Amino acid sequence: MGNCTSFTPSKWGLSELQSNGMVSVDEDETHEGIRTIRIQKACEFTTSSVLCVCIITWNMNGKMSVEDITKLVSSNRKFDLLVIGLQEVPKCDVAQVLQETMVETHILLCQKTMQSLQMFLFGAKSSEKYIRELKVDKHAVGGCGGIIGRKKGAIAMYINFSEIRMLFVSCHLAAHEHKVEKRNSECQHISHSLFSKNDIQYTKPADVTVWLGDLNYRLQGISSIPARKLIEENCQSKLRDKDQLLQEAEKGEVFNGYCEGTLLFKPTYKYNIGSSNYDTSYKIRVPSWTDRILFKVDHLSGLDAILSSYEALDCIGSSDHKPVRAHLCLKVHGDSA
């Protein structure tokens, strides 16, 4: 299918987005925050799952490593769909490398680029016959500086796959610790702008909505040395209370009612390139969980979502960010394994 045609139906404008939960990050007056869920280690791909989706986000920092891209998608590919959101992508053919890596098991269904942001959707070789609809959109929120042009904004893909409607939003938000309100604003602006410009009417919301990307929320109220000490002592739980994204969601500012796996892995930013050591430059930046994957299942969909993994890929070292990968299995509500 290759590159998809850009798509922007009016039914997914501001009021509809807020009412049906397709993209909205704050859709009602009750503030649930982000619900942290446990990871179920056993994937149900071969038993009762309707659909298994692997989701990956990675800020490449403008550098290309074929070896790291191979590690990114791994050899264990027990999933129907693979969604990859990349930020700060270098000017080279990442799509070709991904396709060559995936060729034995999966095909490229869709790709979309917005300067340094790229998004890919792969499916198992027999998957094209299950696609009822596949549309994309993108929305910029500014920011295009530096040699590699760090574009900020989001790319979105909507797919009806075997009558399961899914929306994936891959984004790159404003950097720096003090830009919390700007990140909140960008989330809302992206939510209200995606799929909002055309005349085609859609009446049903997405069954599953996933946000992934370099959201750039940082740790608040702790300096770099104490944070690193807690990481060395494997005390991530004490750092989670200082995570800006969870704090802002708790206040009802962003991602109200979304779910996220427990942050058991180390903060994914900022590393010395080529290593698993945190920043030793004069800035000695505070490590942070900038790279995240959040999801929400519509309560009327009849589906349950099981998160069988949520992890950072520490083995990848060509960027100052570690990639984050999640494995989401969908099944009909009430079915047992």
Residue range 84-112, pLDDT digits in tens = 999 999 988 999 999 999 999 999 999 99
What is the per-residue pLDDT for 197?
A: 72
Amino acid at 8: T
Residue range 47-76, pLDDT digits in tens = 556 899 999 999 999 999 999 999 999 878
End-to-end Cα spacing for the chain: 33
Please tell me whether the peptide bond between 270 and the residue prior to it is cis, using omega within 30 degrees of 0.
Answer: yes
Q: What is the pLDDT along the chain (337 residues), one digit of tens a residue?
A: 444 433 333 333 333 333 344 444 544 456 789 999 999 876 655 455 689 999 999 999 999 999 999 999 987 888 999 999 999 999 889 999 999 999 999 999 999 999 999 999 999 999 999 999 999 999 999 755 544 467 899 999 999 999 999 999 999 999 999 999 999 999 999 999 998 875 444 445 799 999 999 999 999 999 999 999 999 999 988 999 999 999 999 999 999 999 999 999 999 999 999 999 999 999 999 999 999 999 999 999 999 999 999 999 999 999 999 999 999 999 987 665 4
**Contact at 8 Å (CB) between 173 and 292?**
no
CA distance 129 to 234: 46
Q: What is the DSSP string of 10-49?
A: GGGSHHHHHHH-SS-SS-SSS---PEEE----S--TTTT-
143 dihedral zone (left: phi>0; alpha: psi -120 to 50; beta): left
Fold classification of 10-332 (topology level):
Deoxyribonuclease I; Chain A (3.60.10)
Q: Which long-range contacts (CB under 8 A, 24 or more apart) does 122-126 make?
A: 122/81, 122/82, 122/84, 122/98, 123/80, 123/81, 123/82, 123/161, 124/79, 124/80, 124/81
What is the per-residue pLDDT for 12?
A: 36
CA distance 337 to 49: 8
Element holding 248 (H helix, E strand): helix 244-250
Q: What is the largest CA-CA distance in the chain?
A: 55
Query: Considering the chain, what is the average pLDDT of its residues?
Result: 87
**Contact at 8 Å (CB) between 299 and 267?**
no
User: What residues have CB less than 8 Å from 180, skipping those under 6 apart?
Assistant: 217, 220, 244, 248
**Contact at 8 Å (CB) between 298 and 214?**
no
Ordered strands of the 81-87 beta sheet = 106-114, 117-124, 81-87, 51-59, 324-332, 303-312
**Contact at 8 Å (CB) between 321 and 271?**
yes
- The two beta strands, 291-297 and 208-214, are antiparallel
